[in-house]
A = this chain, B = another copy of it.
Amino acid sequence: MEKLREIVREGRRVAKEDPRRVVHSFKVGLVLALVSSFYYYQPLYDNFGVNAMWAVMTVVVVFEFSVGATLGKGFNRIAATLFAGGLGIGAHHLASLSGRTGEPILLAIFVFLQAALSTFVRFFPRVKARYDYSLLIFILTFALISVSGFREHQVVVLTHKRISTVIIGGLSCVLVSIFVCPVWAGQDLHSLLASNVEKLSFYLLDFGDKYCEMVEDGDTKEVDKRKKDFGNYKSVLNSKSNEESLANFAKWEPGHGHFRFRHPWKQYLAIGELVRQCAYRIDALNSYLIADIQVSIDIKKKVEEPLRRISLESGKAMKEMSISLKKMIKPSSSDLHVQNAQSACKTLTSLLNSGIFKEAEPLELISLLTAISLLTDIINLTEKILESLHELASAAKFKNKIETPVFAEKPNAKSIVCGRPTKCHDDHVITIVHDDGKNDDTSKKDNLSKEFTIHEKHEDGVTHVHSSCESCGHTSLRVVVERS
């Protein structure tokens, strides 16, 4: 009874984690019930005979969770059945030429050779990744058809029936998986990458504050809390195999949503690899957040400001990259954040050069300097991820960020930027900083440090003002026309 309740609880958890799983189960049940009925009904049964069961088998084996996996398997199965069917008929014909005694021996040799060779080819890494299932079906169909024990005419009829039923089964799976609540592996890969980048961004956004906060000795509660709060990134460490299989499936998928057929899925793997590298560094960094040797507050205070800024800015860059991925718009402000982080890093280096740590304890120093060095690594990796993302953005033709250009209210003024507070996508108020440094909404002045603005002056007298909302990372653009 307790066991049963546990199973129900587990089932609820699995369904809640991804409700599409429930839909998928219904889809499989539906297609199978349909194809089984097809097998059951007499008139159809008379036509295909026992071979109708191949349709049922195909459905059970081919229907996978994502469209890509189903398409890949369906294609593999149909192609392999066709090809092996042809070869099997050939082998059967050859063997039958050699008379009553020679035939079984020759057939056994054919099957042996074919199976041994195909099994060996399955070990080729590139074949294993994409055509493993093809070869399995190839071995199977060849053996079944060449050794079927029928006469040649019958073998051709048999092969024809088998292929038709396999195609019927395969097609029903593919059609249902594409047209009834499709689960696209490509979309999943896309979301996975965006959410991985986001997880790292959350870590980095919080790291600076938490690192500079003091933990009292023996405060195990706080340490446990940190372990829990900051453990989110850990799933990124082992995302490699998941990403690779999704990318393999995605290659089979037709265009869907924002993705065309031949979307640069490979670039996702490249970015994913860099993101994982960054996660390894964060994993190392994390041990300093919860380590027993804590750096004393005096020493931390000396580097607090640049350290916070490095972590915050690289976090912001990550956050914007994840949003850019999610919405498929070109990342624009990330470059600025990376630059900010790098300049904070330089500040930190010159601080260190000024010799402020001459009197620090070596153990503290090790701990602190390692954290700094890891943060430097993280910035460099962030920059690399950004480069990769730019490549992806141009290969996948991400849109530019300009959404609703608003012209300034005073088009005649020189170099004036609209200062009206605007709202970003999530309705956080953004206050735009004036070009001349004034903020027209003075009551919001304390918000200043929480935003950033970039002014791009174009040659035709137009200024683009990008503003980014601190709370959600969304950005808005205003276009100001300068008239002289």
Contact = CB atoms under 8 A, between A and B. Distances in A.
A10 interface: yes
Nearest to A128: B14
Given A36-B147, A40-B104, A120-B21, A60 B240 contact: no
B32 A143 contact: yes
Q: Which 7 A-B pairs have the closest CB atoms?
A: A29-B116, A352-B362, A25-B120, A33-B112, A29-B112, A29-B115, A25-B119
A283 interface: yes
Interface of A is mostly: helix
Given A36-B147, A112-B32, A117 B14 contact: no
A139 interface: yes
Contacts of A22: 120
Nearest to A361: B353
Contact of A373 (B109, B112, B113, B370): B370
Nearest to A354: B362
A365 interface: yes
Contacts of A241: 241
Interface in A76-134: 104, 107-109, 111-117, 119-121, 123-125
B362 A353 contact: yes
Interface in A222-252: 238, 240-241
A15 to B, nearest CB: 8
A143 B349 contact: no
A16 to B, nearest CB: 12
Contacts of A39: 147, 149
Interface in A121-158: 121, 123-125, 136, 139-140, 143-144, 146-149
Contact of A60 (B26, B143, B363): B143
26 contacts: A21-B120, A24-B119, A26-B116, A28-B139, A29-B112, A29-B114, A29-B115, A33-B109, A33-B112, A36-B107, A36-B143, A40-B147, A42-B149, A57-B140, A61-B136, A238-B240, A241-B241, A281-B284, A349-B362, A352-B363, A352-B365, A353-B362, A357-B362, A365-B365, A366-B373, A367-B373
A37 interface: yes
A50 interface: yes
Contacts of A374: 284, 370
A458 interface: no
A452 interface: no
